[in-house]
């Protein structure tokens, strides 16, 4: 029944149904798969039908579940924050590589933290890391704080409501940012724009307005030999490289690709 209901709105109706069932029944997905004839008890059937109806009406599954997994950890989610995407794992991998090969560089910031999926994962993987998580939306910071508590990294983190880096006075070894980078006009036709917060997606007229403003702030806050990791849209590498070279002339810039071979991450190293 779930499969049939979800097919028109989902590419993965079987998986979605299993996730909804495992949430309602309080069992793992493996358990669901090995118990095809399980019966609902009490209010479970009502809850399942209500959740199914929300998905059918176009609500994203992670918001219906109230969580999503990213980099092997479960993150609380509400429609106030972006659903973490698998391609952002590239940023995590590169950040961890930098931090593990530079054990003396332990001051980091995650700008536009959303649910905290970047900052919390980095803090959990690197127990002596200090990381500031910023967002312009107070609702996002509330969710990020909850996730920091859930993953026992609250004491490593600071939460700041800020427009980019504006109120911060520090020298960061590592600056991570996955900021909105979709051009406003493109959002009109995208399903994600109806499901997820506009403030997490809208990069202004050319998609690069927020990134452009960030680059101007970076020279004052990036430590010598510090690194910036910036997620970008697949067709933005050239334009962002030009912005970086103008804003931070003493830098080395590299473009990295995601698993699908698309340009996804800009790595900016400040020369000494
Ligand atoms: C693309 S989402 C990324 C969320 C999360 N870091 C992730 O990777 O899934 C962008 C986030 O940046 C925040 N944001 C937008 N404009 C901002 C600004 N000027 N300063 C700080 N955060 C901003 C949004 O509220 C949103 O949480």
Q: What is the CATH number of the domain that holds 6?
A: 1.10.8
Rounded CA gap, 175 and 40, in Å? 48
198-252 pLDDT per residue, tens: 999 999 999 999 999 999 999 999 999 999 999 999 999 999 999 999 999 999 9
105-144 pLDDT per residue, tens: 999 999 999 999 999 999 999 999 999 999 999 999 999 9
Q: Does 77 map to a domain?
A: no
What is the position in ligand 1's atom list of the atom closest to the CA of 179? 10
Asked if pLDDT for residue 7 goes beyond 90, the answer is no
* Domain identity same for 59 and 90: no
Q: Is 99 in the pocket of ligand 1 (CB under 6 A)?
A: no
Rounded CA gap, 7 and 149, in Å? 36
Q: Is 182 in the pocket of ligand 1 (CB under 6 A)?
A: no
What residue's CA is closest to ligand 1, atom 4?
114
Residue 36, pLDDT score = 86
* Domain identity same for 48 and 173: no
Q: How confident is the model at residue 3 (pLDDT cuts 50, 70, 90)?
A: confident
Q: Is 111 in the pocket of ligand 1 (CB under 6 A)?
A: yes
* Domain identity same for 57 and 91: no
Asked if pLDDT for residue 10 goes beyond 90, the answer is no
* Domain identity same for 171 and 255: yes
* Domain identity same for 264 and 229: yes
150-175 pLDDT per residue, tens: 999 999 999 999 999 999 999 999 99
If one residue of 95, 112, 116 were mutated to test the ligand 1 pocket, choosing by the most ligand atoms within 8 A of its CB, it would be: 112
Q: Is 113 in the pocket of ligand 1 (CB under 6 A)?
A: yes
When divided into structural domains, the chain yields a total of 2
Beta strands, E only, the chain = 67-70, 73-76, 107-111, 130-135, 157-161, 172-177, 222-231, 251-257, 263-270
Q: Give 161's strand partners.
A: 135
* Domain identity same for 118 and 252: yes
Backbone φ/ψ region at 107: left (φ over 0), alpha (ψ -120 to 50), beta: beta
Q: Does 75 map to a domain?
A: no
Q: What is the CATH number of the domain that holds 178?
A: 3.40.50.150
99-113 pLDDT per residue, tens: 999 999 999 999 999
* Domain identity same for 92 and 40: no
Q: Does 159 map to a domain?
A: yes
Query: What is the domain extent for residue 247?
Result: 86-270
* Domain identity same for 129 and 263: yes
**Segment 56-67 mean pLDDT:** 95
Q: Is 78 in the pocket of ligand 1 (CB under 6 A)?
A: no
* Domain identity same for 129 and 167: yes
Q: Is 2 in the pocket of ligand 1 (CB under 6 A)?
A: no
- Tell me, in angstroms, the distance from the centre of ligand 1 to residue 159's CA: 13
Q: Is 230 in the pocket of ligand 1 (CB under 6 A)?
A: no
* Domain identity same for 128 and 9: no
Residue 272, pLDDT score = 72
Q: Does 49 map to a domain?
A: yes
């Amino acid at each position: 029944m779930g499969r049939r209901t979800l097919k028109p709105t989902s590419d993965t109706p079987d998986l979605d149904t299993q996730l909804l069932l495992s949430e309602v029944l309080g069992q793992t997905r493996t358990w669901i798969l090995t118990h095809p004839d399980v019966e609902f008890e009490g209010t479970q059937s009502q809850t399942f039908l209500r959740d199914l109806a929300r998905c059918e009406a176009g609500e994203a599954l992670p918001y219906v579940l109230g969580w999503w997994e990213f980099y092997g950890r479960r993150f609380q989610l509400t429609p106030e924050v972006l659903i973490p995407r698998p391609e952002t794992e590239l940023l995590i991998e590169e950040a961890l590589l930098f931090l593990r090969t530079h054990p003396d560089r332990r001051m980091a910031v995650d700008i536009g933290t959303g649910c905290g999926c970047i900052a919390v994962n980095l803090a959990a993987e690197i127990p002596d890391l200090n990381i500031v998580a910023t967002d312009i939306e107070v609702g996002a910071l509330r969710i990020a704080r909850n996730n920091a508590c859930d993953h026992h990294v609250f004491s490593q983190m600071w939460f700041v409501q800020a427009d980019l880096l504006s109120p911060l006075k520090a020298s960061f070894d590592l600056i991570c940012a996955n900021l909105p980078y979709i051009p406003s006009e493109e959002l009109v036709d995208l399903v994600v724009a109806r499901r997820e917060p506009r403030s997490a997606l809208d990069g202004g007229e050319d998609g690069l307005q927020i990134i452009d403003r960030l680059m101007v702030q970076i020279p004052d806050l990036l430590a010598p030999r510090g690194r910036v990791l910036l997620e970008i849209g697949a067709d933005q590498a050239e334009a962002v490289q030009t912005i970086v070279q103008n804003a931070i002339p003493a830098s080395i810039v590299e473009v990295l690709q995601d698993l699908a071979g698309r340009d996804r991450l800009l790595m900016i190293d400040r020369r000494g």
